[in-house]
Amino acid sequence: MPRYFLELSYKGTRYSGFQIQENAPTIQWEVEKSLKILLRETIACTGSSRTDAGVHAICNFFHFDTDVEIPEALVYRLNAILPPDIAVRSLRRMHPQAHCRFDAVSRTYRYVLYSRKDPFADDRGWFYPYPLDASVLATVAGIVMDTADFTSFSKRNTQVRTFICSIRESRWEQSEAGWVYHVRGNRFLRGMVRGLVGTMLQAGRGKMGVAAFRDVITSMDNRNVDFTPPGRGLFLMDVGFEDGYFGRVTVARQEA
């Protein structure tokens, strides 16, 4: 059966996350509902990266299987019936064994802080009007890159086989509005990016020393981690695959 990859962007403010849930609006529910309307069959989607309530995505992927003939205008039609805060970017036909989650080699996130009250940034960042030590932030971000076991930064009741993650980028950048944290790795645990952000901010404010930050990592205890940063400041920027993974086959793209 043919397999298709959907690339999409969304603003997560109104949703209880990416993955379908009972009695809650989610990105997956909206996409599956729209595909069912257009293809006239029940479609089950698999996501490449799960995002929590309020979290946004510049790029994320679903894949689904169907024998129904896919019209060239499917992307246009999907965008016509999806809510304004979800946009399909492209649709690609893949080989049947392609898997948008297991074949992905990287995920890139950013977390946005703004330091002056801004009504237009309220749902796309975290208002954080506190002075931060740039050198301390740089130091603890570097420690993150030197870490492999992120047990401390995983929320409880997470069903994973391993807490090992390979972080290839971890850095803070100061902007006119505030601060942005950039992080890229092969995988992330539930709540991990927000836990990293919250705990590094404690160090940046002088409430925790660099040595204490290292102790949080080695403690393997998430009770020492600050998970308070809200989802609205977090963006999934990209899901990466090996060069040439998609080849040249694209069924349809969103019109420019």
Give ∠ CA 126-131-134 in degrees, rounded to 5: 95
* C-alpha span between 193 and 183 (Å, rounded): 8
Does 12 lie in the same domain as 49? Answer: yes
How do residues 127-164 score in pLDDT, each as one tens digit? 999 999 999 999 999 999 999 999 999 987 777 889 99
Q: Are residues 98 and 111 in the same domain?
A: no
pLDDT of amino acid 234: 98
For the chain, the three-class secondary structure string (H helix, E strand, C coil) is: CCEEEEEEEECHHHCCCCCCECCECCHHHHHHHHHHHHHCCCCCCEECCCCCCCCEEEEEEEEEECCCCCCCCHHHHHHHHCCCCEEEEEEEEECCCCCCCCCCCEEEEEEEEECCCCCCCCCCCEECCCCCCHHHHHHHHHHHHCCCECHHHCCCCCCCCCCECCEEEEEEEECCCEEEEEEEECCCCCCHHHHHHHHHHHHHCCCCCHHHHHHHHHHCCHHHCCCCCCHHHEEEEEEECCCCCCCCCCCEECCC
Together in a domain, 75 and 140:
no
- Say whether both 26 and 51 belong to one domain: yes
How large a percentage of the chain has pLDDT more than 70? 96
Q: Find out whether 36 and 17 touch, Cβ atoms under 8 Å.
A: no
The per-residue pLDDT for range 91-115, each reduced to its tens digit, is: 999 999 999 999 999 999 999 999 9
Residue from 52, 133, 146, 215 carrying the catalytic annotation:
52
Q: What is the pLDDT of residue 22?
A: 83
- 52 is known as an active-site residue: yes
Query: Is residue 138 domain-shared with residue 93, that is, in the same domain?
Result: no
* Residue 256 pLDDT: 43
pLDDT > 70? residue 248: no
Same-domain status, 137 and 204? yes
pLDDT at 196: 98
CB contact set of 193 (below 8 Å; sequence gap of 6+): 109, 111, 181, 183, 234
Residue 62's pLDDT is 95
**Higher-confidence position of 238 and 253:** 238
Domain count, the chain: 2
Residues 189 and 227 in one domain: yes
Instruction: For residues 85-93, give the mean pLDDT.
Output: 95
Q: What is the pLDDT of residue 63?
A: 96
Same domain as 228, residue 126: yes
Domain that holds residue 229: 106-237
Whether 249 shows a pLDDT value over 90: the answer reads no
- At 255 the pLDDT is 53
Same domain, 113 and 228: yes
Residue 64 and residue 111 share a domain: no
> CATH number for the domain including 35?
3.30.70.580
67 and 140, same domain (yes or no): no
Q: Between 55 and 251, whose confidence is greater?
A: 55
CATH of the domain at 144: 3.30.70.660
Residue 72 pLDDT > 50: yes
Tokens describing residue 19 = 């993955």
- pLDDT for 254: 60
Residue 197 in this model has a pLDDT that exceeds 90: yes
Distance CA 192, CA 208 (A): 19
pLDDT at 250: 54
> Does residue 92 share a domain with residue 73?
yes
